[in-house]
Structure 1
Amino acid sequence: MKKHMAKFLVFLLMFGSLAIHIPALEVQAADQAEAIVAVAKSQLGVKERSSNSDDIFYNDWYYGRRVNNNGIAAKYAWCAVFVSWCADQAGIPASVIPKTANTTDMKNRLINSGGSSHLKGSGYAPRCGDIIFFGSNASQHVGIVKFSSGNTVYYIDGNNTQTNPHGVHDSSCSLSAGNLWGFVTPNYSNSAPEVSAPSIHVWMSDTGMGNVPSVYRTGTSYYLCYELIDTASGKRFNEVASANYTITETFYKPDGSTAFSYSYENSDNNWISHVPQEAGVYRGKVEITGDYIGDAEVSFEVKEHKVMLHSWFSESKMGESASVSKKGTTYYLCYEIIDDETGELTSDLDGQNYTVTETIYKPDGSVGGTHSYSNSLSNWIGFCLEDEGTYKGVVTFTLNDCSASSNTEITVAHTHSYTSKITKRATCADSGIKTFQCACGKKYTENIPKTGHVWDNGKVTKQATAVSEGVYTYTCISCGSRKTEKIPALALKPGENGIPTPPLNSNPAGKPEVPSDTDEKPNLPLDTDKRDDASGKEEGENLETGKVFQDFAGHAEYEVISVNGSEICVEYTESTDAKASVVRIPNTVTAKDGTVCKVTSIGKNAFKKNKKIKKVIVGNQVKSIDANAFYGCRNLTSVNLGKSLTSIGTNAFSGCTKLKSLTIPAKVKKIGSNAFYGCKDLKTLNIKTAKLTSKGLGRKAFKGISSRAVVQVPRGKVKAYQKLFRQKGLSRKVKLK
């Protein structure tokens, strides 16, 4: 008659630590002492699910639920629980070895149920199945004795601190050890059970007959391993018995279909392997047929690799990201393999054999450089960017049959070299134009101030008389324009009191006095220019805080916001060109009187709901963009922000639905609420500043940007910014790297 093995199920419980295999079987051995030792031996190597947590299935059995000490050491200490569990699995009743989590309680109940106690120093030689106790009144630790030899006792104990996480350990100590309390021999039954069939020990490993891995990933080979163990001796079954049997091992996919199966004849230990290609819960089953019938099963969850390949170009090895470089400069294509959840370098690939290949492509598509690294979580290659245009960096990660890639770009910007010529000469009355043009076709213009009239000393063109005013005429020596001044009538009639009439073309006083402010101003002819003094200087701008003036050449209006000595700062308040599609905010603007002013701000509502502009270039002097500056500019696709920018106001770019990419400069400290709200096409966002804080970043600042957007942040700020931006409304679908 065939002997039927008791079936038992082996669960592989994955909680981020070592897997745990739990045989739930009725053990039959020569006697109860050998049976409890056999069960204890089958548990060697089992560990807590996480380090120093007391989270282990023996406690699940004892408490009827899963427990965790949450950092409170020994809250659920389980050395006594382990002894109780082994006794239960060996079929030893609780009246012989009690079910308890307290070592002193276990010692007392063992003695009360007829067990024999042997204190340290009594000369007793401990035997197989004895229970060993440590600490005052057996209050510290407990284990199961295998045997003793000379002055040394050998035992198996749970919750052993020599493993990390704590686990089941093969231990020994001197019979005179300082913390040894002694031994209790339980009142084991003397009836010998029948000789049992072998037990099947089954587990999953990342090598043939190896250890249980801590995590399972797609694309990696795993091994379904088994051993047949004689429960009485703890030895391999074929060492103590002769039998005919067949072992069949089978891998099952998550959908229940068979992935692979193989059979062995009379082999008491072996394995088969399989490479999971999809995530899910797999099962491995080992069946024995022939003289013995039985099976055992293991399940394990396979997950996708939780790693992200991050690549960028930098001016230094593993330095900060850069998107624009100078021609002839060496830049570095860098990469990191990081955990998608924590943003830190991943530990998920420890012990894995993978390859990372970096390749740089020139603007013409040819390969500029390439190199491969083995098992390196971060590295770089350097390359001199000699051509103008966009270079592409491609980083490819390969692990077994799995692969991933990350692309990044850097542009060698064209350096403009301008030549200038006067395309309109300045005159006395009109300003001129100087045009600057680069070989690439780009050009811009500057105004040449009008020269102003240069007046001669003037002459009397009509003599004053006693009854009529005279005329004094000035002529511009540059253009010939004229202006006149009245000569007051003489107080006396000509010839009276011997005062002769002044001759024609003479100036009795050398030059007539300019009338005072209280005098009647002369009526000048229509073809003359108005002047505020005899020198011919035009009326000045009188620049002071709050003064508004127009730059006619730049089609813009400005307001003076500060005057500090010779430094005058102005704010760009609005465009006077309603049809402009490209707007350039200059570094400086020249007022009508020739004063050069710094443009340091873009005013509130400056371009609000402007449907014409498509591109904005902000000068490097601009430090702030005020609220609603570009609100609702629905056709705006490109914005270049200047390097001095520190503040972006509330709703500054809200509703710019066609804005596709943006770089936030390194000095920005404040981004107001809803600053980029609803920019639904914004897919590329390069944040160079590392100065943003919860106070500086407003609510919903980037809410509503594209869910497929990739946000690149400074190295070392990924984790902090990920938390900050999520708190401020950024979608969790948006990737930060």
Structure 2
Amino acid sequence: MKKKLMFLLTFVMMWIWAVPASAASKPVLPTDVSVPSKNCIFLGVEGRYIADIQNALNRINQIRYEACREGVTNPNTGTPLQKKDYVPIKWSSDLEYIARIRAAESSLTMHHSRLNNKIWYELKGPKGGQSCAEVIAWNWSSSMTYGIDQWYEEKADWVNNTGEVTGHYTSMIDPANRYVGLGTFYSENAAMWPNTTVGEFSGQLDLDEAKGKSVPACIQTVEVDRKYLLSNTYGISGTIPKKTGQTGSLAMTVGIDYNGTRSTGLRLLSSVTWSSSRPAAAAVDANGTIRVRGCGAVDITARASTGAYAKRRLTFAHNWGKGTVTKQSTALKTGIRKYTCSGCKASRTEKIPVYKLRKGRTYTVGSFKYKLTNANLKGKGTVMLVGTTVNRTALKSLKVPDTVRIRGVRFKVTALGSRVFRGFSKLSSASIGKYVKIIGTDTFRNCKSLKSIRIRSRSLTKVGKNSIRNIYKKAVIRVPSGKRSSYKKLFNGSTGYQKRIRIR
């Protein structure tokens, strides 16, 4: 079988009496004692607990049944197991409690040992359950069952009597073990591999069988002998705010060295005193909550009850916000935007780039929408009126301007787009600018109240199909002097022109 990256240890001992432990569960999860022992300190390991209990039980029982079916050697008697020896192992809440604490501890020690120098098998569950055999697996997975498969890899060595380590496998198949509890702790602060899975076995009877749940994020308390602390690794970490108005949460951290195995970033859970070199800019309360009120550099100091301290310089950026436009940019000139920091009230300005007008794009000026048909910025630019923001039942009179100013540049209005005012039932009069050359298809169609159209342009060249169909039947169209004859030809039958409509 292909070897997996792992490091496995096992230790089997007889059941030994120990002091009961608390089973309280909080965001900061407790260890088995409520007060640190002499020369010890509480540290917190950030991580999460993975629980896939039923699948883990099923897998272990598959392995136990397989061993009985195949006649694998009984680790207690040295004789082959038989099918009648098969006893399904059960889950124990006490053993799970122990396994979870031990998983966090073993993620830092990489061994069957505790950071408080106590013996692992002295741990008891809240209801008195105790382990007689402990197995550990380390890996990269996010699975509880992956570690079981690592232990199972020892089967071949046990069956073939190679002399290699086999205690993980034999603990699983031993008929004398009636209960099991697993703890899978996943932590980026672990010494080597993030997943530490611990199994605790017991031959006790009638243990509580309640099953725990996954804990997506927690800080597990571990009791650590001060001699393992690395004095040069005290630091400050957490959620660091970046600018005025933001808050964050700080923690004092330290590293440990357990017989050459190092871990860093462990939280001090004892009393920590916080201070700021500039409280007016950034203040930290007793819980490590930091609130930023100003800008610039601030030195934050954390001091533990042991006298150890850590200092960290934080630099907070100005909170400029969105700023205020004090000078609008045009198509010809840059604009100015002013920013004022909400914290220190410092201000700065920046240029707003020249606004680039694009041919084919539509711009709103007043209550009308214009499509840019020629983007020339030196007096030759043109637009087409293509829409309005006024409701079709609210527009009563229309004046198409000669020119419009868009972003500081004046453009001639040379066309009315198709269907622009179609169905504007309240529109009664329209004045068309002097540069309009084209009136589009259906422009005024179904404007049944439109009685007067004044065309001031002398350069009209096209009137689109149905542009005046169904306007007021006796409407009057006024045109520039000398243009009546030529414009009358433009307003032909296809435009919707009727004989009762007069062109003057």
What TM-score do you get using the length of structure 2 for normalisation? Answer: 0.29
Find the structure with the greater CA-based Rg: 1
- 1 or 2 for the larger relative contact order (CA 8 Å, sep ≥6)? 2
